[in-house]
């Protein structure tokens, strides 16, 4: 089944392809599908933003579309950056946004640095049916960026003794918030007739 991912984020697209293509999906980014659209994320939750993005692409194509909205929620920061993860502090790069999180946590002790990645996936099937799931991965914020893999906040998000930027793509694809959401989505898809 042809499936458009409502994103051009190379890291995200790579993860979706690695997870979904072995299941028989023909996964493509919106640019690979010839779509030049950046839906305005006006929602106040990950769920709302994922639905906005999926519906914008579906309305143009009537093709199956998967959109997600994901981000980092740091407990000591009241859930920030949350839905504003991609534009936190009005900063341009992931490195700058990660540094802002680290700066805000500079005096926060180890036991208060808990955080979790959240991923909400909204899928619209080619017949218009819609499914939504949410996945999470809990960890903590480290003290400095470490690792060369991953993207976004991965270098400061510690899972066990490593950052998300230190583990392999295969390992991350098994335990990440996106993997958790995809597992839930796959279970839902098996329950319905597609």
CB 2 within 8 A of CB 64: yes
β-partners of residue 117 are 72, 137
DSSP E strand boundaries for 7-129: 26-29, 65-74, 114-124
Alpha helix (H) residue ranges in 62-160:
94-104
Residues 6 or more apart whose Cβ sits within 8 Å of residue 171:
none
Report strand pairing: 130-141 vs 114-124.
antiparallel
Question: How far is it, in rounded angstroms, from Cα 110 to Cα 155?
Answer: 17
CB 40 within 8 A of CB 14: no
Q: How many CB atoms are located within 10 Å of the residue 43 CB?
A: 16
β-partners of residue 163 are 158
180 is catalytic: no
Catalytic member of 68, 69, 154, 180:
69
Annotated active-site positions, please? Answer: 69
């Amino acid at each position: 089944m042809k499936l458009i991912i409502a994103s051009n984020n190379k890291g995200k697209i790579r993860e979706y392809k690695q997870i979904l293509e072995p299941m028989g999906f023909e996964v493509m980014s919106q640019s690979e599908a010839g779509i030049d659209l950046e839906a305005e994320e006006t929602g106040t939750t990950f769920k709302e933003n994922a639905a906005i993005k999926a519906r914008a692409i579906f309305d143009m194509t009537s093709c199956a579309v998967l959109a997600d909205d994901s981000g980092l929620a740091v407990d000591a920061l009241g859930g920030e950056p949350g839905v504003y993860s991609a534009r936190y502090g009005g900063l341009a790069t992931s490195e700058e946004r990660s540094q802002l999180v680290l700066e805000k946590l500079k005096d926060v002790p180890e036991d208060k640095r808990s955080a979790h990645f959240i991923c909400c996936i909204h899928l619209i099937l080619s017949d218009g049916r819609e499914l939504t799931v949410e996945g999470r991965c809990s960890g903590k914020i480290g003290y400095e960026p470490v690792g060369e893999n991953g993207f976004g906040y991965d270098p400061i998000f510690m899972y066990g003794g490593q950052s998300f930027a230190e583990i392999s793509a295969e390992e991350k694809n098994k335990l990440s918030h996106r993997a958790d959401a995809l597992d839930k989505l796959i279970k839902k898809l098996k329950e319905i007739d597609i």
